[in-house]
Structure 1
């Protein structure tokens, strides 16, 4: 990380309306509180389902000395500690979110790439059972729905799926 500090020396450690909540979240996950970690967590709160590059652009406005590699390092630490979740939609860069600890899925607009959380109808993992698990003990299923968001529908957009997806059938 390129920037560190302490609460008394760095205004990024507290923010109006955030009485240490972000720092507490980082500490509870077993990580040290640093300015880049706080900035990334703030950016994720403001932009759920964001790529590392998008988060980097936001963090860089707050901490100009922060590198893209530092943001990737923070995201890797957060994901390993269970503070964030990494999703990897087909044909898209990895996205990160703070909603962890539940069994939810995602719906992605095949036109504009907007992402929304979708609660699992079953509730507990795995919500799907494979017809043949090939000897695996399945504990989770990752479901991604693709469709057109309300804005793209209103604009009359046609569905566009990432490479590797089968054609859609009306």
Structure 2
């Protein structure tokens, strides 16, 4: 993985730095992580990395298209490495857990809007809301 990540950073025009590598590694272990989770994971390996450095890394990686930022309504921003497809998310209304949901049919059916209003659509963001299995058991 390190060689692939190094190549991806360079291809995106970013310098290869330990904090960026650490943030990407944290997101591999914690998909859909909020900033606090990323900070905790990075600082577990490198205690001297500042909060601001992690924020800056997340921003640069998102801008470069190496990380996807999602922010379901009413929840903190989350980050993920799965960027190479048009997938969606399911969010638990109770605990905020998030999971990936592949498009239901075809390559990217959600990119065909019933009325595009003249827009050139290149991404669709669908969020399914519900209750995760752990919360459903607790509510029963």
- When the two structures are superposed, what TM-score results if normalisation uses the length of structure 2? 0.87
Partner of 1:143: 126
Please identify the structure whose Cα radius of gyration is greater. 1
The answer to whether residue 32 in structure 2 is matched with residue 49 in structure 1 is: yes
How far did 1:128 drift? 5.3
Partner of 2:58: 75
Higher helix share: 2
Query: Against the structure 1 CA distance between its residues 41 and 128, is the aligned structure 2 distance closer, same or farther, given a 3 Å change threshold?
Result: closer
Unaligned runs of 5+ in 1: 1-17, 158-170
Partner of 2:92: 109
Q: Aligned-pair RMSD on alpha carbons?
A: 2.0
2:59 and 2:105 map into 1 onto residues whose CA distance is: 29
How far did 1:33 drift? 1.0
Unaligned runs of 5+ in 2: none
Of 49, 54, 57 in structure 2, the residue corresponding to residue 66 of structure 1 is 49
The answer to whether residue 93 in structure 2 is matched with residue 99 in structure 1 is: no
1:101 and 1:19 map into 2 onto residues whose CA distance is: 19
Structure number with greater CO (CA < 8 Å, separation at least 6) is 2
Contact 1:127/1:141, CA 8 A, preserved across alignment: yes
Secondary structure (helix, strand or coil) at the match of 2:33 reads coil
Of 12, 17, 27 in structure 2, the residue corresponding to residue 29 of structure 1 is 12
Query: Against the structure 1 CA distance between its residues 111 and 33, is the aligned structure 2 distance closer, same or farther, given a 3 Å change threshold?
Result: same
2:34 and 2:73 map into 1 onto residues whose CA distance is: 14
The answer to whether residue 21 in structure 2 is matched with residue 38 in structure 1 is: yes
